[in-house]
Amino acid sequence: MAITDDHFRKRILETKKEFFPLDRLLPLETVYSIFLEEYAKTNDRNLFFRDRKFQRLREGYFAIFVAVSLNDTSQNKHLLLFPSSQDNDVYITFPKGDNLGGFAFDVKEFTNWSNSFTDFVNESIIPKIDVYNLIIATYRKMDGNDLKFLVDTLNQKNISSRIWVVASPTEENDNNEISHVSIIDRNGLVYDKTVNLNDWIDKSKPQIVYQNVVRFVLPPSYSKE
């Protein structure tokens, strides 16, 4: 049966939102545009990056940088999907023939209120590493010893999964278009680059929300596409 305009209008009206439309495929431009709209409404920018009510927005923001790193290292153009279920925070997907490929991600924030990086990894990262892919989002300074500890821990636990670290290039950086992305596995750094969203995202594009309802189970662990 053909899908009518009325059917699509009804589907749009019924779309659940938590800042971002849920269970819908979203281009990176759409996710970033929504983030910027909400960010502009916030007078206290420090509150934005620590208030729990903005958590979904922060998850989307950091996921954009991870998707860009995947665009940069593959032939695929990745999209984001925020599930209405509580299974994980975000899917990063790409067209694969008539289907979708991609992986489930969860975002863990390493903040100024977190304990040591060692405690953070042991408490928040290692218990979840075989459940889904992990993004470590941080606003505080990290050094080579932190990344080495992450690599050493993966080796000690014999874990082959990858971890994405998305961090501000400097503690003083307040440019939300720039973050440093590192991809870690037990062999060391797989990817290490400062990403400027201006090089990857066309902010002049209108917000697009693909209206097909998508619910799927993806393999939790990232492997080369």
**93 or 102: which carries more pLDDT confidence?**
93
| Parallel, antiparallel or unpaired: strands 163-167 and 178-185 | antiparallel
The pLDDT of 171-189, averaged and rounded, is: 84
Is 90 exceeded by the pLDDT of residue 64? yes
Alpha-carbon dihedral angle through residues 178, 128, 18, 218, given to the nearest 10 degrees: 90
In angstroms, the CA 72 to CA 80 distance is 16
List all residues 6 or more positions away from 37 whose beta carbon is below 8 Å from its beta carbon. none
Q: What is the pLDDT of residues 158-173, one digit of tens each?
A: 888 899 999 876 555 5
Q: What is the pLDDT of residues 186-224, one digit of tens each?
A: 999 999 999 999 999 998 888 888 766 555 545 555 544
The pLDDT of 22-31, averaged and rounded, is: 92
Instruction: Identify the band that residue 35 occupies on the pLDDT scale cut at 50, 70 and 90.
Output: very high
Q: How many CA atoms lie within 13 A of 204 on its CB side?
A: 0
Radius of gyration of the chain (CA): 18
Checking phi first, is residue 22 left (phi over 0); if not, alpha (psi -120 to 50) or beta? beta
In angstroms, the CA 77 to CA 133 distance is 19
Predicted local distance difference test score (pLDDT) of residue 185: 92
In angstroms, the CA 46 to CA 140 distance is 13
Q: Which residues pair with 25 in a beta bridge?
A: 81, 210
Is 80 exceeded by the pLDDT of residue 82? yes
Checking phi first, is residue 101 left (phi over 0); if not, alpha (psi -120 to 50) or beta? beta
In angstroms, the CA 187 to CA 122 distance is 19
**38 or 46: which carries more pLDDT confidence?**
38
Predicted local distance difference test score (pLDDT) of residue 13: 44
Predicted local distance difference test score (pLDDT) of residue 10: 45
Chain position carrying tokens 């870690």: 184
Is 50 exceeded by the pLDDT of residue 146? yes
* CA 179, 182, 78, 85 torsion-angle sign: negative
pTM of the shown model:
0.85
In angstroms, the CA 191 to CA 193 distance is 7
Tokens of 24: 């819908």
Predicted local distance difference test score (pLDDT) of residue 212: 64
Is 50 exceeded by the pLDDT of residue 12? no
Per DSSP (E only), the strands in 50-187 are 79-81, 90-96, 99-110, 133-138, 163-167, 178-185
Instruction: Identify the band that residue 134 occupies on the pLDDT scale cut at 50, 70 and 90.
Output: very high
